[in-house]
Each structure stands twice: as C-alpha cells, then as structure tokens.
C-alpha cells in the first residue's frame, strides 16, 4: 500500500502567519493601534520560559506587540488573578496568554476564569469551551482550532465520519471532540480508562491523538485510509502515534514535528489579531 | 433470553422528592426561609402551561414555594432578560426555571444566560454545561442529572464501558455525554448525520437515547446485556427505543413513561433545595 500524504502544518502555519501579519499591519495603518498580546508566566520553569519566548518572537514577526509579565514562583492564586483582571481591563491589551501548567499551589481554573472572554485568544476559559461546544462566537483553544484548520486545508470533511479522540483534557481532547461534533462527525472520546483502545481506534475514519503517551496508537490499529492527527508532545519529538506504522495505512497523517505544533501558535496569533480587530471596533 | 429488569424512575423519584421535602422542611425550621422556585413562561402554549403547572404542584408538595411569572407571547428577548435578571438578584428566589422552547423571536441562549449560575437549578446556562464537562461545582441539567442518579441506583458503573449517546442537544445529549465521560465511560455521540447508527449502537454497553424520534433505536441493535436509557419524549408515550424489542436483549431498561421522566422533575426539586441551602449559607 502506498504511504499516507503528509499534512504540512509548517507550511500552512507560515501562510496563516503571513496573512495575520498583513491584517495586523492593516489594522495599525487604519487605526494607529498595534495588536498586543500579554504573556503571563509564573515561575521560571525552563520549558515554559522557552515557550513564552518563542510565542513573543513569533508575535513580533507578525506585527503583534507583546507585553510580558513575569511573576515569581511563589505568586498566590489571588495575586495572579489580580494581574489577569488588570490585563483584562487594560484597553491596550487585546489578548492574554497565561502559560501553563503552573505550580501546584495555583488554582488554574480560577486563574483562567480571570481572563476576559473577549481577550481569551488561547481559548482556555469555560466561556470559550462552551462557545466551541455550542457553535457560539468565541475563540477556540489553539490546538483544537489549529487541527480543524488543518483538516479543512486538506479537504477532510468530518460530516458523517467516525472520529475518535484519544484524550479528554480541558484544552485539547474535550474541545477538539466538540468541534468535530459541531462539524457533524460521530465522535468517540477515549482515555486512560478505555477498555480496548485498539478496537475503538480501528473504527475511526479520523483519529486525533491528544494524550501525551509516546506511540500509544499502533500503526496496525489505523483503519486503512484513515486521517491521523497526532497532537501528542513527548520528549524526543515522538508523537502519540507510531508514525512509521500508521503512515503505511493512513491516507493523511500529520508529522511530528511539523504537523499540529506550528498550527497551535499560528492560531494564537490569528486569534490575537482578530481580538484586536473586534476590540478596536472598526 | 430473559427480559430486562425495569429501571423504576417513578419509585426512585418519589424517594428523592420525599428526602427533598425533609431537607426543605429542615431548612425552613432552622432559618425561617422556604426554598423558592421561580417559573417563567412566555406565551400560552398548552403543553408548556401544563408542564409548568405540574412543576409548581410538585414543588408545593415538596415544601418549595413557587412564584410564577407569566409573560405575554409578544415579550421581547430584552424584556425577558430584564425579568430573569431581576429574579437572579431577588434574595427570596433560590432557583429559576425558564420553560422552553420559547417563541422563535426569542434568543433562547441570551435568555438562559441571564439566569445567575447559582440559581440555575434547571442546568441550562453555559456555566452549568462547563461545570458538568469539567467536574466543577454547579447544577446538572435535570434530565442528564436524573439519568446519572438512576444509573447509580441500579449499580451501573460507567467506568470503562462503552456509552453511546444518541442526540446532541444542549441540555440533554451533550451534557449527559460529558457526565458519562466524567465517570470514565468511553463515550460516543451519535446524531442525525451519523452514517450507520445501528452499527454504533450495537457496540454500546450503555445506550442513552435522547433525540425525540419514536422507536429510532431498534431492539435488534441492542447488545445483549446492555443498559438502555430512553430519554425520548414522543406523542403517545412512545420512547426513542423500541421497548418491546430492546427488553428482550438488555439487562436493564427504563420504561416510557415511568423511567427518565419522573427523574427530571425530582432532580429539579432536589437542586432547588440545594440552591436554597447554599444561598441561605447555614
């Protein structure tokens, strides 16, 4: 059997960022306002520091100003909420990104909820989840939003297809399932308590792996012709799917890296400019 | 094969209402406050008038005061929001039920969102949906909450089982799927665009039918030993499941009527007294 076609997230993300940069420049020219993304980081976890720096660099290249708030590791939930509430009220800030995971002493849900929904360009608030679940106006969580955009780009219409989402996190598994359901897929959620994961995955026309366990999905469990989206991040650039095995059976597959990853940041930037456009009201 | 055992919603609901009446009486004795449910009805649709009257009668029998607001059919969304906002702010009202469906000229979502989450005892707000989705404190939509209580009563543990939800409405299909997922079932959502409904239903250890199409689920599609929950309402007391056929194969099944229906009102009353208890703060 021939190998699956690769879904090129890097190339699509580049085009989205170019479009976003044009929209940002246009907004600035028309209104004098530069879109601004505030990034908030608690503590100095090296991986988080790297992620935030990358997001700031990408923002800058897209004509988005970034404002960084670095809080000490000992910051309390209330202090963090105070910071996020102030940024939510600040008219010069259009989008807010709270880098997570945070320390265990922080109530993450309470912190996320302090972000105004219209500035929730990372799609982490409950309001954004509801919007994704019911097709209401709002911002998508960035990885799920990026996955849907990638499917569209490759003309994958989820309607009537069986989609299996492996993982049920608040910002990845659950929302991507709701987005696929909104596009009329028959959606199944699997997770650590699923009894026979292989059997469920074998039914899938579209598999979204979003659980963070290296090569959990075996190539032999991919239905011939299925579309495979690997949103897993594991050390050593290993996805949640056995890429080599899955590639022999799938029709389309995202590489790791270069598949879902770049789409996440592209979605963040596009949503920030969209937020600035809406808030500027022109 | 022997016939399925019936899941007696009428009997369980009666016991829940008795317990609820005791809790209401206890609250009133301790604090002088009687739990109060406000019912809001737009127009005079005969079925809706009947439903609201039934809910008021049941409330009264459980020691819950009811306050009814009847609005003319021509009420605008803004006027309705005004009414709901006032009830949300009224400290003598503990729960609010907005009878739906409403007229097509009403923005139902905007109306629901005017109900304060702590008074949303019918579980219709986006905040309540998020709470059900993420296991956060909040009120369940009444039918989904009643279904979970019924499963518990019959010792059905969803963990590791395959649950198939047929229907994806905002207050029934979507939330009951999220509650089952929170209890560790592997959950599949089916709907009108599902390609081969029979094939999906045949995989289910637990079937929840919540779509409102008479006998859509055929007996022959029930996996032997499955648990069948029929939340469908169709004229003539006909469920979404072919009861006679399903009964031959299932291990447990809800009758229609007398299964899910009574659990919905019992959940509404229990949640109203719970809301009053929380708001009274004793």
Contacts by B89-92, CB closer than 8 A, 24 or more apart: B89/B116, B90/B38, B91/B279, B92/B36
* Pairing of the two strands A252-253 and A36-42: unpaired
User: Is pLDDT above 60 for B222?
Assistant: yes
Question: In terms of CA atoms, which chain B residue is nearest residue A184?
Answer: B193
**DSSP conformation letters of chain B:** -PPPEE--HHHHHHHHHHHHHHHHHHHHHHHSPPPEEEEEEES--HHHHHHHHHHHHHHHHTT-EEEEEEE-TT--HHHHHHHHHHHHH-TT--EEEE-SS--TTS-HHHHHTTS-GGG-TT--SHHHHHHHHHT-SSPPPHHHHHHHHHHHHTT---TT-EEEEE---TTTHHHHHHHHHHTT-EEEEE-TT-S-HHHHHTT-SEEEE-S--TT-B-GGGSPTT-EEEE---BTTTB-SB-HHHHHTT-SEE--SSSSHHHHHHHHHHHHHHHHHHHHHT-
Query: What is the domain count for chain A?
Result: 2
The reported pLDDT for the residue numbered B138 is: 96
User: Is pLDDT above 80 for A282?
Assistant: no
B170 close to A (CB below 8 A): yes
User: Coil, strand, or helix at residue A226?
Assistant: coil
Q: Which chain A residues in 191-210 lie under 8 Å from chain B, judged by CB atoms?
A: 191, 193-195, 200, 203
Annotated binding-site positions of B for NADP(+): 167-169
Q: Is the dihedral of CA B43, B49, B55, B59 positive or negative?
A: positive
Chain A residues touching B186 at Cβ < 8 A? 188-191, 193-195, 200
**DSSP conformation letters of A249-266:** T-SEE--TTTSHHHHHHH
- Same domain? For B158 and B254 the reply is yes
Residue to mutate among A108, A110, A133, with most B CBs inside 10 A, is A133
In-domain check, residue A165: yes
- Residue B130 to residue A130, Cβ atoms within 8 A: yes
Query: CB-based contacts of B218: which residues, under 8 Å, 6+ apart?
Result: B198, B242, B245
Give the Cα separation of A119 and A178 in Å (integer): 21
The reported pLDDT for the residue numbered B1 is: 58
Give the Cα separation of B186 and A44 in Å (integer): 37
Chain A closest CA to B257's CA: distance in Å? 29
Domain CATH number, residue B79: 3.40.50.10860
Chain A closest CA to B132's CA: distance in Å? 11
- Same domain? For A95 and A162 the reply is no
- Same domain? For B216 and B250 the reply is yes
- Same domain? For B172 and B222 the reply is yes
In-domain check, residue A186: yes
The reported pLDDT for the residue numbered B282 is: 66
B221 given a catalytic annotation = no
Question: In terms of CA atoms, which chain B residue is nearest residue A200?
Answer: B186
Mean pLDDT for the stretch of residues B264-275:
98
A122 given a catalytic annotation = yes
- Same domain? For B108 and B36 the reply is yes
Closest CA to B262 of B46, B4, B16, B5: B16
Give the Cα separation of A24 and A29 in Å (integer): 9
- Is residue B136 very low, low, confident or very high in pLDDT (cuts 50, 70, 90)? very high
Cβ atoms of A158 and A209 within 8 Å: the answer is no
Give percent above pLDDT 90 in chain A. Answer: 96
In-domain check, residue A24: no
Which H helix or E strand runs over A66?
strand A65-71
User: Is pLDDT above 60 for B123?
Assistant: yes
- Residue A195 to residue B129, Cβ atoms within 8 A: no
Instruction: Return the bridge partners of A69, or none.
Output: A40
pLDDT tens digit sequence for B145-177: 999 999 999 999 999 999 999 999 999 999 999
Give me the catalytic one of A56, A119, A120, A122: A122
Closest CA to B84 of B73, B75, B97: B97
- Same domain? For B158 and B199 the reply is yes
pLDDT averaged over every residue in chain A = 96
- Is residue A2 very low, low, confident or very high in pLDDT (cuts 50, 70, 90)? confident
Domain CATH number, residue B218: 3.40.50.720
CA geometry: angle at A130 spanning B100 and A71, to 5°?
145
Tokens of A72: 């000490």
In-domain check, residue B10: no
What 8-state DSSP symbol labels residue A171? T
Higher pLDDT pick, B104 / A197:
A197
Cβ atoms of B169 and B240 within 8 Å: the answer is no
Closest CA to A118 of A93, A150, A83: A93
Give the Cα separation of A232 and A234 in Å (integer): 6
- Same domain? For B148 and B230 the reply is yes
A109 close to B (CB below 8 A): yes
- Residue B195 to residue A161, Cβ atoms within 8 A: yes
Tokens of A165: 């989402």
Give me the catalytic one of B56, B120, B122, B174: B122
User: Is pLDDT above 90 for B113?
Assistant: yes
Residue entry with tokens 């879904």: A7
The reported pLDDT for the residue numbered A103 is: 87
Task: Name the residue facing B109 among A136, A181, A188 (closest C-beta).
Answer: A136
- Same domain? For A147 and A223 the reply is yes
Closest CA to A200 of B205, B156, B147, B176: B205
User: Coil, strand, or helix at residue A121?
Assistant: coil
Cβ atoms of A113 and A125 within 8 Å: the answer is yes
User: Coil, strand, or helix at residue A207?
Assistant: strand
- Same domain? For A100 and A154 the reply is no
A101 prior amide bond cis, ω within 30: yes
Tokens of B184: 């560790």
In-domain check, residue A194: yes
Which H helix or E strand runs over A142?
helix A142-153
The reported pLDDT for the residue numbered A185 is: 98
In-domain check, residue A39: yes
User: Is pLDDT above 70 for B207?
Assistant: yes
- Same domain? For A41 and A146 the reply is no
Give the Cα separation of B146 and B12 in Å (integer): 10
Write phi, then psi, for A50 (nearest 5 degrees): -65, -45
Mean pLDDT for the stretch of residues A183-192:
98
Higher pLDDT pick, A220 / B2:
A220
The reported pLDDT for the residue numbered B233 is: 83
Chain B residues touching A136 at Cβ < 8 A? 109, 126
In-domain check, residue B196: yes
Chain Cα centroid distance, residue B188 = 20
Mean pLDDT for the stretch of residues A100-105:
90
- Same domain? For A93 and A156 the reply is no
Q: Is the dihedral of CA B53, B57, B59, B60 positive or negative?
A: positive
Task: Name the residue facing A186 among B170, B174, B188 (closest C-beta).
Answer: B188
Structural domain of B46: 32-116
B152 given a catalytic annotation = no
Any binding-site annotation on A167?
A: yes
Any binding-site annotation on A169?
A: yes
In-domain check, residue B16: no
Cβ atoms of B108 and B47 within 8 Å: the answer is no
The reported pLDDT for the residue numbered A135 is: 97
- Is residue A1 very low, low, confident or very high in pLDDT (cuts 50, 70, 90)? low
pLDDT averaged over every residue in chain B = 96
Chain B residues touching A188 at Cβ < 8 A? 186-189
- Same domain? For A46 and A113 the reply is yes
Mean pLDDT for the stretch of residues B61-84:
97
- Is residue A233 very low, low, confident or very high in pLDDT (cuts 50, 70, 90)? confident
């Amino acid at each position: 059997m021939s190998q699956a076609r690769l879904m090129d997230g890097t190339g699509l993300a580049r085009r989205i960022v170019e479009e976003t940069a044009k929209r940002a420049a246009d907004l600035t020219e028309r209104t004098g306002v530069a879109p601004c993304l505030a990034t908030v980081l608690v503590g100095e976890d090296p991986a988080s520091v790297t992620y935030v720096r990358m997001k700031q660099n990408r923002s800058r290249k897209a004509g988005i100003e970034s404002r960084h708030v670095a809080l000490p590791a000992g910051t309390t939930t209330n202090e963090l909420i105070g910071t996020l509430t102030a940024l939510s009220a600040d008219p010069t800030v259009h989008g807010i990104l709270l880098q997570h995971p945070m320390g265990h002493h922080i109530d993450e849900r309470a912190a996320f909820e302090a972000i105004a929904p219209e500035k929730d360009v990372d799609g982490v608030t409950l309001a954004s989840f509801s919007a994704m679940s019911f097709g209401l106006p709002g911002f998508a969580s960035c990885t799920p939003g990026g996955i849907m955009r990638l499917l569209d780009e490759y003309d994958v219409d989820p309607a009537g297809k069986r989609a299996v989402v492996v993982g049920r996190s608040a910002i990845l598994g659950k929302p991507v399932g709701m987005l696929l359901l909104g596009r009329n897929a028959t959606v199944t959620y699997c997770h650590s308590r699923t009894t026979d994961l292989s059997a469920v995955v074998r039914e899938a026309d579209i598999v979204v792996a979003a659980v963070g366990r290296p090569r959990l999905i075996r190539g032999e469990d991919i239905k011939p012709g299925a579309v495979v989206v690997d949103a897993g991040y594991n050390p050593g650039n290993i996805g949640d799917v056995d890429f080599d095995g899955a590639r022999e059976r799938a029709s389309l597959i995202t590489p790791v890296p270069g598949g879902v990853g770049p789409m996440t940041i592209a979605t963040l930037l596009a949503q920030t400019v969209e937020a600035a456009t809406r808030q500027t009201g022109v």
